[in-house]
Each structure stands twice: as C-alpha cells, then as structure tokens.
Amino acid sequence: MSSQINGVFSQASARIAKSVADFLPGLLAFVLTLAFSALLAFIARRMIRGFLRGIDFDQRLKQWGFSELAEWSPAHSPSLLIAAITYWLIILVGVLIGISALDASLTQVLVLRLFNYVPHVLAAILIVTVGFFLARFFARSVLISAVNMQVQSARLLSLGVKWLVMLLAGAMALEHLGIGGDIVQLSFGILFGGIVLALALAVGLGSKDMVSRSLERQAERSADEEEIAGRFHHL
Amino acid sequence: MEALSEETREQLGRIGTARVVVGIPTFNNRETIGRIAEASLAALSNHLSSESAVIVNADGASKDGTPEHLREVIGEKVPLIQVRYPMYPVRRLSAPLAGVPGRQEAAGTIFALAKQLGAGVCAVFDADLESVTPEWIERMVAPVLEDGIDLVVPCYLRHKFDGMINNGIVSPFLRALYGKRLRQPVGADLSFSARLVDFYAAQENSSGDAPSFADPWDTVPVIANGFRIGQSFLGPRAVHPREVSPDLSDTLRQVLTTVFDPLERTASFWQKVRSSEDVPWFGPALAVDAEHVDINIKRMIDSFRLGCQDLAGIWNVILPPATLLDLRRMLRLPDGEFCFHDEVWARTVYDFALGYHQRVIGRDHLLKALTPLYLGWVASFVKELQDANAEQVEQRQERLSRQFETQKRYLISRWRWPDRFSP
C-alpha cells in the first residue's frame, strides 16, 4: 500500500518536475525576449528622439498646422509622443514573441484573435483621433465666433460642442470595438436627444422671457450697428 | 484667360493699339455700371481726349444683363471690348471685400487684353462705384502716363473714424515694414503701368486655360520689386450696398491674410528697411472729414473685456507674457479711463503676424481672435479723437505709425529668434 502511494507520489513529482523542466526554458526565453525587446525599445526611443530633435520636428509640426498635437503630448513635445509610442510597440511585440516561447498553441490562438481584432482597434483609434481634433477645431471655432458675436456664455457653448463631438466619436469607436453593442448607441441617442430636448424646453418654457429680452436687445443693437455701418466701414 | 472669341480677336485687330485701357470687371452690376461707364466716357472725351483709349469689360457671366446695358451706354463713342473671365465656384461662394467675386481672374483677363493692345496704362475700377467722377479717371491715369508711376493707389475722402482697419493696422504696418507711407494701401480702384502689367503677366501660371495671377490689389510685391508707387486724392467713395458683406471678423481675416501672407516671401527685404519715405501725391489734397459723430464705444470695450475673459486660452498661445500683462491691466480700467496704448497695439499686431508666420494655431482662428483686441483699440482711438479736428487726427495717425516703426525691432527680434526672445 505504502509502496503504491510512494509510487503515485514519485510519478506525480516526476511529472511536475518534467513540466517545470519543460516550462523553464520557455520562461527563460520569455524573460530574455522581454529583456532584449526592452533594450531594443530603449535604444529605438533614444534614436528616434534624437533624430526628431535633430530635424526640429516639433517646430516643423507647428508650421505644418498640427500645433494642437503638442498640447496633448508629454511635455508638449510630439517627438516624445512618437518615441514613447515606438517604445511601447516594441515592448508589445516582444511580449507576444515571448509568449510564443512559452506555449506555441496558446500563442497561435491568441495572436490570431489579436490580429483579427487589430483592424477594429486601428479604426477605433483613428475615429477617436479624428474626433478629438474635430472636437477641438469646432470648439475653437464656436468660441471665437461666439465671443466676436458678444455671446456671454461663449465658453459654455464651446465646451458643449467639444464634448458632443467627442461623445459622438467615443460612441462610434466603442461600436467599432464591439464593446457595449446596442447599449452604447441607445445611451448616446438618449443623451443626445435629452440634451436637445432639455435645450428646447429651456428655451420654450423656462427661459421664454429671458430669450425674448435677449432677442430684443440683439435687435436694438443690430439697428444701432446698421445705422453706424451705413456710414462707416472698418476697411 | 478664357480663349478669345473670334469677334474679340477681330475687334483687337481693328483697334490695333491703345495707350489707355479702362478696365471694368463686372458681375451682376446692371444698376451701377452706368455711372462708371459715363464717367469713363466723359474722362476719355475731355481730359484724356488726346490719348487713344479702349474700355475693357471683363464679366463673370452676369445674369442681369450687365454687359448689354454697358454696350447701350458706351455705344460707338469709345471702343469697347467685352470678354468673360473664368468664375470658379469657390469665388462665387465667398463674399469679397471689394469688387467682383474672382477679381484676380478678372484683372488677369483685363491685363492680358491691355498687353495685347500695347497699353501704357491700365486703370481698373469697381463697377459698383456710385460716386465716381471723370476726374477720378484722369487722376488715376495721368500719374502713370506723365510721371512714370507704376502703380497708383487711391486716397478717398473719408471720415476720421471710417476705415479703421486701414488706419490702425494696414497703413502703419506696411509703412513700418516696407518703408512707404501709403495712406490707404488697400484701395479698390487702381492704375497699373505697362511694366507692372508685364510683371503680373509674367507670374501667370500657365496650367491649362485657367491662369491665376498674383493679387494685383496687394501692394507689397509692387514695393518689394522696386516699382514706383503713387497715390491720388479722389473724392468720397460711395458704393452700391451689397447683398452679402463679410462681417467684421471675416473682414479682418481677409485683409490680414493679404497683409501677413507676403511676410515670409519678403523677409529679407523688410528686415533691411530702416525708415519710411513719402510716396508721391497727385490731385488736390483732401483733409480728413472730422465731423463730430457720437459713437457708442461701450460695446466695443465690452467686446474687448469678453475677449480677455473667454479667449485668454488662445491669446496665451499667440501673445508673449508682457503683452498679456498689459491687456490684463487694461481689463481693470473703468470705461472712462480705458486706453489702448500705441506701443501695446503695435506689439499686439506684430505678435499676431508672428503667430501667423509660426502657425501657432490655425491661421483663420488666429486672425479672427484679433477681433476683440481690434475693437478695444478702436474704442480707445475713438474716445481720444471724438472731438479732434482734421489736423489733430493726422498728427495722431502719424504718432501711431511712428510707434509701429519703433516697434519693428521687436518684430525682427522675435522673427529671427522666436525661442530666445519672448518678453
């Protein structure tokens, strides 16, 4: 009996030892790959940063009209942003290669799924990026136009436009990623419709008098302006 | 220029040469075209009767019978050549500051005909002018024929508070940078010598049948290329009211684009200009109309304050800390003491020019963000000169222009060393 138990234990120990022995080279390979990719990523980051600084990339980007990118980059430097993205991409690739060293079949499935998902992720990133820039552009346009028209709540209007466009972009990106499904569409529809309804109610019921007073003031101002404009031109 | 029709070619052959070309670009100007046509006829048959002359009408496909009406008015008294200029949809959609939509193409078409006719002078007038007289034509044409001037810009009789973009930005800015004291550098009616017509024709982009000319209404290339420039006193300029006019911020955007755009191309020229000189005057001198007018400046000051409050985030990107500090000081002043000092104003305009050059934000946004500051300066200027006479207005204008000249060193420093020099 005891010899049987000993036999089972020794077999189990041998199996575990074999599994560990089988796994250890893979783990070592994973660690080595990770270390190598980290080193490669570090070198690539330094080289890219140096090169972009050398060609004065940040300043050129401003001249090409992408000044807004600087505002959202670490330390206001798009060069650093590009270097950081490259760094993390190399690390990610290193992790994937490392995992393949651990278990080939698992990695195959993982990589296949990952690559199937990549176009969706890229599309979502593109949508969010374009949405972000559009939101900033529209927000700035609304802010400047509203201030020039002497609208007192120009900043609020601009903020509203910015978040509306960003929400729209966010909802579209989530739909592309397959996260949330109909809930995202539904909640966006409710939110958007709610805002419009709230504004309509506010103007139609709650602020009727205020709106009419504001319109009257506007009409008086326009009449004054027309009288002066008939005589004087800014140009 | 669109291909000339058989009839136009025959007409050109019959006319041969002409020393004077009066160009009238039109686009749906039936109501007003008669005035400029009659003034041209009178000038060509009286003051300029000794010169062979042709009237060239470049029309952008008017739908109200403008070319037909012009033919009726001119009759056989003076040779008239009528051609179409290419009207691109983008031009039709935008509201031009002056003249017809697509006036560059119209001018190009007129210049091409003037060149074929071997004209010594080509004077281009707006078709919506209501106050034009025969003397205007003569005063615009004579300096080119008699004094060898290459470009004659008009100087209209205006009220002291009329044309503040010109008085407060364009005139002092161009004077400081390019060294020519032009009172109204953005006049709509201009006169060009044959040399200048050749210069514009040489810049023609001969891609297909749609040539694009440099904007002949931009005086900077004329100055920078060493052409002789003169200014003629004309009377008050009244134009037919337009259906669609650009609002103030759009006007600023359009004008300042024309003013700031050549800065990069001409940097080596304007950085060498150290002082300014008078430009020859023609015609009887006209003083500024200084009649007292009550203008409500409170709204302009309010607009400035609203800009300080809401556009601070944008101005922070364009203006250096010292200018921002000055603006914050002005924000705290009560209406009665409100004052936009010339030094701050000149630096502000230069900072916007630098921001435009460096593209710190989108250029349209940048130029439109100047509107509240401009209104603040107008309020200060109007408040100061409410009761001033013509002489005092002239002196005040001179002080402002000198301040722009003094502050030019600031522009050059920031232009050359944008990172190192930020006061």
Q: What is the pLDDT of residue B399?
A: 94
Q: State mean pLDDT over B106-131.
A: 88
Q: Which residues of B touch A145 (CB under 8 A)?
A: 249, 368
When CB atoms are compared, the residue of B186, B358, B371 closest to A63 is B358
3-class secondary structure, B83:
strand
Q: Hey, what are B157's tokens?
A: 């009789």
For residue B256, what is the nearest residue in chain A, using CA coordinates? A235
CB contact under 8 A, B302 and A148: no
Is the minimum CB–CB distance between B360 and chain A shorter than 8 Å? yes
What is the Cα gyration radius of chain A?
30
Which amino acid does the sequence have at A6? N
User: What is the mean pLDDT of the segment spanning B49-53?
Assistant: 81
* Pure H helices in B261-333: 262-265, 267-270, 298-310, 312-318, 321-331
Judged against a pLDDT cut of 70, whether residue B93 lies above it is answered with no
Q: Kindly give, in sequence order, each residue whose CB lies less than 8 Å from that of residue A57, ignoring residues fewer than 6 positions away.
A: A78, A79, A82
Q: What is the mean pLDDT of chain B?
A: 85
* Length of chain B measured in residues: 423
8 A C-beta contact, residue B163 and residue B184: yes
Q: Which residue of B has its CA nearest to A231?
A: B162
CA distances from B6 to A10, A15, A136, B61, B206 (A): 109, 101, 54, 18, 22
Tokens (6 digits) for B214: 């440099």
pLDDT-based confidence at B186, cuts 50/70/90?
confident
**Which range has the worst mean pLDDT, A145-149, A173-177, B256-260?**
A173-177
Is residue A187 within 8 Å of A181, Cβ to Cβ? no
Q: Ranked by mean pLDDT, which of A53-62, A71-80, B11-20 comes out on top?
A: B11-20
Residue A39 pLDDT exceeds 90: yes
User: What tokens does B415 get?
Assistant: 């232009």
Residue B206 confidence (pLDDT): 46
Determine the pLDDT at residue B209: 43
Give the model's pLDDT for residue A211.
66
Q: For residues B97 and B36, which has the higher predicted lDDT (pLDDT)?
A: B36
What percent helix, strand, coil does chain B show, rounded to 5?
50, 10, 35
pLDDT attached to residue B247: 82
Using an 8 Å CB-CB cutoff, list chain A residues near B161.
232
| pLDDT at residue number B173 | 94
Q: Do A144 and B365 touch (CB under 8 A)?
A: yes
Q: Which residues contact B106 (CB under 8 A, 6 or more apart)?
A: B25, B58, B60, B85, B99, B100
- In tens, the pLDDT along B97-109 reads 667 777 888 888 8
Given a cut of 80, is residue A12 above it in pLDDT? yes
B60 touches chain A (CB under 8 A): no
Four-CA torsion A13, A19, A21, A25, nearest 10 degrees: -160
For residue B258, what pLDDT band results from cuts at 50, 70 and 90?
confident
Q: What is the pTM of this model?
A: 0.79
Q: What is the rounded distance in angstroms from the CA atom of residue A29 to the CA atom of residue B123?
A: 83
Give A-chain residues touching B251 at CB under 8 angstroms: 234-235
Split at pLDDT 50, 70, 90, the class of A232 is low
Q: CB–CB of B248 and A148 under 8 A? A: yes
The reported pLDDT for the residue numbered A171 is 85
- For residue A117, what pLDDT is reported? 81
Average pLDDT value for residue range A192-208: 75
Nearest to B184 by CA among B172, B194, B193: B172
Distance from the Cα of residue A73 to its chain's centroid: 12
Pull the structure tokens for residue B268: 């080596």
Average pLDDT rounded to a whole number, residues B150-177: 89
Band (pLDDT 50/70/90 cuts) for residue B205 is low
Q: Please say whether the dihedral angle defined by the alpha carbons of residues B266, B269, B275 and B276, taken in this order, is positive or negative.
A: negative
Average pLDDT, whole number, for chain A?
80
C-alpha angle with apex B93: B87 to B97, nearest 5 degrees?
90
Planar angle of CA B84, B89, B94, nearest 5 degrees: 105
Q: Which stretches of chain A sit within 8 Å of chain B by CB?
A: 62-65, 67-68, 137, 140-141, 143-148, 150, 152, 154-155, 221, 224, 228, 231-235
Give B-chain residues touching A221 at CB under 8 angstroms: 299
B161 pLDDT band (50/70/90 cuts)? confident
* Contact of B80 with B67, CB cutoff 8 Å: no
pLDDT of B32 > 90? The answer is no
Give, to the nearest 10 degrees, the angle between helix A78-102 and helix A2-54: 160
Q: Which residues of A touch B317 (CB under 8 A)?
A: 67
In total, the C-beta contacts within 8 angstroms joining chain A to chain B are 81
Give B207's pLDDT tier (boundaries 50, 70, 90). very low
pLDDT of residue A115: 73
Task: Give the DSSP H/E element, type plus range, for residue B235.
Answer: strand B229-236
**Residue B366 and residue B358 in contact, taking contact as beta carbons nearer than 8 Å:** no
pLDDT at B14: 84
- Poorest-confidence range of B165-169, B216-220, B225-229, B330-334? B216-220
pLDDT interval class at B210 (50, 70, 90): very low
DSSP for residue B397: H
In contact, B314 and B361? CB cutoff 8 Å: yes
Q: What is the pLDDT of residue B421?
A: 61
What's the whole-number mean pLDDT along residues B290-301? 82
- Residue A58 pLDDT grade (very low, low, confident, very high; cuts 50, 70, 90): confident
Q: Output the pLDDT for position B127.
A: 86
**What is the spatial distance between Cα B377 and Cα B410, in angstroms, rounded to a whole number?**
20
Q: Quick check: B386 contacting A, CB < 8 Å?
A: no
Asked if the C-beta of B385 comes within 8 angstroms of chain A's C-beta atoms, the answer is no
Cα separation values, A169 from A129, A135, A196, B272, Å: 9, 9, 18, 50
Q: How confident is the model at residue B208 (pLDDT cuts 50, 70, 90)?
A: very low
DSSP state of B289: B
Residues B374/B301, Cβ–Cβ less than 8 Å = no
Please report the pLDDT score of residue B244 as a whole number: 63
- Could you tell me if B359 lies within 8 Å of chain A, comparing CB atoms? yes
Q: Which two structure tokens, joined as six digits, stand for B285?
A: 């001198």
Question: What average pLDDT does this structure show over A96-113?
Answer: 73
Residue B270 has pLDDT above 50, yes or no: yes
- Cα separations in angstroms, B53 against B23, B77, B120, B200, B230: 11, 11, 10, 21, 22
Task: Tell me: pLDDT of B5 over 80.
Answer: no
pLDDT at B75 over 80: yes
pLDDT attached to residue A107 = 66
pLDDT digit string, tens, across residues B11-28? 888 888 888 999 999 988
Say whether B423 sits in a helix, a strand or coil: coil
Q: Cβ A147–B365 below 8 Å, yes or no? A: no
> Terminal CA-to-CA distance of chain B, rounded, Å?
50
Question: Which among B165, B293, B302 is the nearest to A235, CB-wise?
Answer: B165
Lowest mean pLDDT among A60-74, A124-138, B47-61, B153-167: A60-74
Distance (Å) of CA B420 to CA A149, B36, B147: 37, 54, 47
pLDDT score, position B211: 42
Count Cβ atoms below 10 Å from residue B220 Cβ, excluding itself. 23
For residue B361, is pLDDT > 50? yes
- Note the pLDDT of residue A195: 78
